[in-house]
A and B are shown apart, each in its own frame.
Chain A
Amino acid sequence: MTADPGNDAFVVFDHVQKSYDGQTLVVKDLNLAIGKGEFLTMLGPSGSGKTTCLMMLAGFETATHGEIRLDGRNINDVPPHKRGIGMVFQNYALFPHMSVGENLSFPLEVRGMGKAERETRVARALDMVQMGRFKNRRPAQLSGGQQQRIALARALVFDPKLVLMDEPLGALDKQLREHMQFEIKALHDRLGITVVYVTHDQGEALTMSDRIAVFDDGRIQQLAAPPVLYEQPENSFVAGFIGENNALRGTIEQLQGDKALVRLGNGELIDATAVNIREVAQTTTVSIRPERVEFKPDLMPQGAHTIEAQVRDVIYMGDILRARLHVAGQDDFVMKYRNTLGQVKLSPGETIRIGWHPEDARALDPV
């Protein structure tokens, strides 16, 4: 992946590297172009380098090598307060000794804005997050969700073109988090700002983002829109990190274009789409989403290979049923199927045959 040199690239990471100790690279050759108005999420496990990238963009860390450009301008040597980037922190970082109004007024004051103008802007920003009534409260008197809104309003009050969010919803409970996801997304759509969002929660990333950059080991593993990321993961890490996934280990038996025949450990053959394998006899991990596994012969494609599976247990989850299967010597194979009227009832110990469309099974790098 190289940086998109297109005109709409608003933020560009150009061969950026970062090392703290001079021995190991935390960020390895990062190339990333973010379009104007885009909602881009950096997703990855902790230590994957995503937060470091965000901090370099904000100006709190310097790139060891490479260039970061904002709106076409190299900002490597621009101090944070001159970058004009709004930022929402994980713990909100609302100034505890100031009221909500003073918190929002702060970025306007340091820009030398007059009092009347400041008050208008603060009121507008508070209304935007439905917090107009709380102007005189101290942050400590607000709930987590309310503080989150204020932090958001403060990051937006000075009309930045770019807003960075560092796991802003991490401290909220599930229900509030989902609500805030919706609100942030709505604000983004309404204001047309560019958002770079860091999270380790893949559900959050899938819900909100235009594109997601999946980070691991200091590299972007895949950069794509959510459906692509979910349905067409390009390597085993992405497949495993995003959503639930079955991984079957085997070797390539035949390779024809992107059609691959894989022999599993117990000798059975399955169909798959070759993604990042090159030759016959190579080992591979085949990734199949649980909901794409079929066990009723009439739903399987004609001529496809099927394999034997033994039902270990079935969990009733309301809208769906989740069966754990023993497949090709592996015990952790999961199949999800809809809970429709007259659905076949599987019971533990039962032996069935399962299969899938070859496009849904992706032969990836071995794990």
Chain B
Amino acid sequence: MANALDPHAAIVTKAGGLDRQGTLRTADGRPLKAALARSSRRARRRAFFLVLPLLLFVLITFVLPIGQMLQRSVKNDGFSANMPQLTAWFHDNPRGTQPDDAAWAALAADLAAAAQARTIGVVGTRINYDMPGTRSLFTSAGRKARGGIDPPYRQAILDMDETWGDPKLWSVMRMAASPYTANFYLAAVDRTRDDQGQITAVPEQQQIYVKLFMRTFWLSLAITATTFLLGFPVAHLLATLPMRQSNLLMILVLLPFWTSLLVRTTSWIVLLQQQGVVNDMLVWLGLIGNGQRLQMIFNQTGTIIAMTHILLPFMILPLYSVMRTINPSYVRAARSLGATSWTAFRRIYFPQTLPGLGAGALLVFILAVGYYITPALVGGASGQLISNMIAMHMTQTLNWSMAAALAALLLAGVLILYWVYDRLVGIDNLKLG
């Protein structure tokens, strides 16, 4: 009988065969499945420890931040954490209850405490998101309330500012009393809540995000299409030219990668602006008059041109890596079988480049959806994308919850697209390099 610890037990000794229940067993009587699991367990454990650093890295640098971002998009406890008594009152009294003495007392106590703790600015910021113009209401009340507020509280607070009696303010505070809210998502699709807490569209002049989402996806599609049209022949040349020429061409393709984004963008401005090189040339050639200089930058055209240039390598490289593996004999075979060169391209060559095209298109599209520096610099008014709004909320208005909600919607859009791609083409039919 083989030693039970001998990892080769199942192999070196005659298999024990089937027992009464029909389980396959090793020579020493253990079920074959268990023996197999046992022998492969150590290899699996070692493999796990090898990938552990990467796993931790991905977890810490990718999964956690994204999780935090998603949490931030629905959670903002700026009010609920710093106004505990009023929050408790909202909790005890259902919507529609008029603020009673207890409510005013709670407000007074919270205002004084928040002012003391210097958190009143945070509270004001939170309420200001849902009701613009109220941050200073809180900060000024805080300054006055630092020494405490004397009863009667209602009168004392209303004396500071009449706005404290506004039902809309109380409605907004009630919503903010819950640390979790869908309001940022509502705002991200141009919706808001009215005094009664019902969802309504924001005034037309404030509506922007839905439009920008559509524009972002449309522009990204256009950019993907132009990178394909320009990149396909280049990738083909790269794959078929002799080594020396193709290396030179490859350097040209990669050149945008080696120059700073700002330098590239600035050079596009120099080229494309109305007093720029291209317009000067067109005027010099007499194609257009001096008064008809074309507006090619600071609009959507500029965004498409500059981003196509920047993202072109991401289309060319996957296409190239796929095309390089396509044996020229396929096209020759098609030609010998009677296909014209166009038919051979369409029916034989092009279908085989689809995995590279899919990978390139997905890369370019996802990168285009998230770009913001280039559209900010060359996009003008009509070339703004949703990512510019995210950046604005991140750095300017400091409304990170709003930025997170917009980013989450963008992420969802990209995931849906990914899913559609999987259904239409198959995600395993994707070759990134």
Chain A positions near chain B (C-beta within 8 angstroms)? 58-60, 79-87, 89-91, 93, 95-97, 106-107, 110-111, 154-155, 158, 164
Known contacts A93-B327, A93-B329, A97-B351; decide if A106 and B334 are in contact (CB<8 Å): yes
Closest to B333 in A: A93
Contact present for A91 and B337 (CB under 8 Å): no
Contact present for B338 and A107 (CB under 8 Å): yes
Contact present for B351 and A87 (CB under 8 Å): no
Which residue from B329, B333, B335, B337 sits with its C-beta under 8 Å from A59?
Answer: B335
CA distance A60 to B341 in the complex (A): 12
For the complex of A and B, 10 pairs with smallest distance between CB atoms: A107-B337, A93-B333, A87-B336, A80-B335, A93-B329, A89-B329, A110-B339, A110-B338, A97-B351, A81-B338
CA distance A85 to B329 in the complex (A): 15
Closest to A90 in B: B329
Determine the chain B residues whose CB is within 8 A of the CB of A110 once the complex forms: 337-340, 343
8 Å CB interface, B197-252 against A: none
CA distance A39 to B336 in the complex (A): 19
Contact present for B327 and A81 (CB under 8 Å): no
Known contacts A89-B332, A93-B330; decide if A111 and B338 are in contact (CB<8 Å): yes
Determine the chain A residues whose CB is within 8 A of the CB of B388 once the complex forms: none
CA distance A81 to B341 in the complex (A): 8
Contact present for B333 and A87 (CB under 8 Å): yes
- Answer yes or no: B186 CB below 8 A from chain A CBs: no
Contact present for A81 and B330 (CB under 8 Å): no
Determine the chain B residues whose CB is within 8 A of the CB of A97 once the complex forms: 351-352
CA distance A79 to B334 in the complex (A): 12
Which residue from B327, B329, B337, B352 sits with its C-beta under 8 Å from A106?
Answer: B337
- Answer yes or no: B432 CB below 8 A from chain A CBs: no
Which residue from A81, A86, A90, A111 sits with its C-beta under 8 Å from B335?
Answer: A81
- Answer yes or no: B271 CB below 8 A from chain A CBs: no
Closest to B336 in A: A87
Contact present for A91 and B332 (CB under 8 Å): no
- Shortest beta-carbon distance from B319 to chain A in Å: 16
Known contacts A93-B327, A110-B343, A111-B338; decide if A60 and B332 are in contact (CB<8 Å): yes
Contact present for B329 and A91 (CB under 8 Å): yes
Q: When each residue 52-68 of chain B gets 1 if its CB lies under 8 Å from chain A and 0 otherwise, what string results?
A: 00000000000000000
Contact present for B336 and A158 (CB under 8 Å): no
- Shortest beta-carbon distance from A150 to chain B in Å: 12
Number of A-B contacts (CB under 8 A): 68
- Shortest beta-carbon distance from A173 to chain B in Å: 22
27 A-B pairs with CB atoms under 8 Å apart are A58-B332, A60-B332, A79-B335, A79-B341, A80-B332, A80-B335, A81-B335, A81-B339, A83-B336, A84-B338, A87-B333, A89-B332, A89-B333, A90-B329, A91-B327, A93-B330, A93-B332, A95-B352, A97-B351, A106-B339, A107-B337, A107-B338, A110-B337, A110-B338, A110-B339, A155-B336, A155-B337
Determine the chain A residues whose CB is within 8 A of the CB of B336 once the complex forms: 58-59, 80-81, 83, 85-87, 155, 164
Given A90-B329, A95-B334, A95-B348, 20 new contacts (CB under 8 A): A58-B336, A59-B336, A60-B332, A79-B341, A81-B337, A81-B339, A82-B338, A84-B338, A86-B336, A87-B332, A87-B333, A87-B336, A91-B329, A93-B333, A96-B352, A106-B334, A106-B337, A106-B339, A106-B347, A110-B340
Contact present for A60 and B333 (CB under 8 Å): no
CA distance A154 to B347 in the complex (A): 16
CA distance A82 to B339 in the complex (A): 9
Contact present for A81 and B340 (CB under 8 Å): yes
Determine the chain A residues whose CB is within 8 A of the CB of B333 once the complex forms: 87, 89, 93, 95
Closest to B352 in A: A97
Determine the chain B residues whose CB is within 8 A of the CB of A107 once the complex forms: 337-339
- Shortest beta-carbon distance from A253 to chain B in Å: 54
CA distance A96 to B325 in the complex (A): 12
Contact present for B339 and A95 (CB under 8 Å): no
CA distance A84 to B340 in the complex (A): 12
CA distance A110 to B340 in the complex (A): 8
- Shortest beta-carbon distance from B334 to chain A in Å: 7
- Shortest beta-carbon distance from A100 to chain B in Å: 14
Closest to A82 in B: B338
Determine the chain A residues whose CB is within 8 A of the CB of B343 once the complex forms: 110
- Shortest beta-carbon distance from B356 to chain A in Å: 13
Contact present for A158 and B338 (CB under 8 Å): yes
Which residue from B330, B340, B341 sits with its C-beta under 8 Å from A95?
Answer: B330
Determine the chain B residues whose CB is within 8 A of the CB of A106 once the complex forms: 334, 337, 339, 347
The residue among A81, A87, A89, A91 with the most chain B CB atoms within 10 A of its own CB is A81
- Shortest beta-carbon distance from A359 to chain B in Å: 45
The residue among A79, A87, A155 with the most chain B CB atoms within 10 A of its own CB is A87
Determine the chain A residues whose CB is within 8 A of the CB of B344 once the complex forms: 81
Determine the chain A residues whose CB is within 8 A of the CB of B329 once the complex forms: 89-91, 93
